[in-house]
Amino acid sequence: MKKILIINGPNLNLLGDREKNFYGDTTLEKIQNICQTVCNKYQLECEFFQNNNEGALIDKIQSVDKGYGGIIINPAAYTHTSIAILDALRATSKPKIEIHISNIYAREDYRRKSITSEAVNGVICGFGENSYSLAIEAISKLIYK
């Protein structure tokens, strides 16, 4: 069974409490449970990680080549600002999918540019918690092709 890494960036630990008009009332814990269930369906094991610090996210991305089949990342606000996360994503040859709960292209102007998407195989956004399930299905096809 292949293992994937699911990374969640800053403020996603506040899901369920913050900006429900964009993110709904689903908590990160509920999303983690959904991911584990969906991963089982696709014969994947998942490690779920959230951190508010850019350096911790970079360290985790850099671990992907050692023991993971791919990465799903919701870089959150770092999507629009972090060249360091972009560089870390570029450094791994494993399949990578960027996800967002909200549709970043239907939001504020500064959210419509994803710096990090330049280094991933694809982007899924705007499907709420289902963005994670869709990404797991997609990455399983990249891993097991």
Q: How far apart are CA 137 and CA 80, in angstroms?
A: 25
Q: Quote the Cα angle for 113-118-121, to 5°.
A: 120
Q: How many domains, the chain?
A: 1
Which pLDDT belongs to residue 21?
66
Question: Over the stretch 45-85, which tens digit does the pLDDT of each residue have?
Answer: 999 999 999 999 999 999 999 999 999 999 999 999 999 99
Average pLDDT value for residue range 91-113: 87
Our answer to whether residue 42 is catalytic in this structure is no
Sheet holding 2-8, edge to edge: 44-50, 2-8, 70-74, 96-100, 122-125
Tokens 């990374």 sit at which residue?
7
**Which residue among 42, 68, 78, 100 is the active-site one?**
100
Range of the domain at 94: 2-143
Q: Is 23 a catalytic residue?
A: yes
Which domain CATH number covers 113?
3.40.50.9100
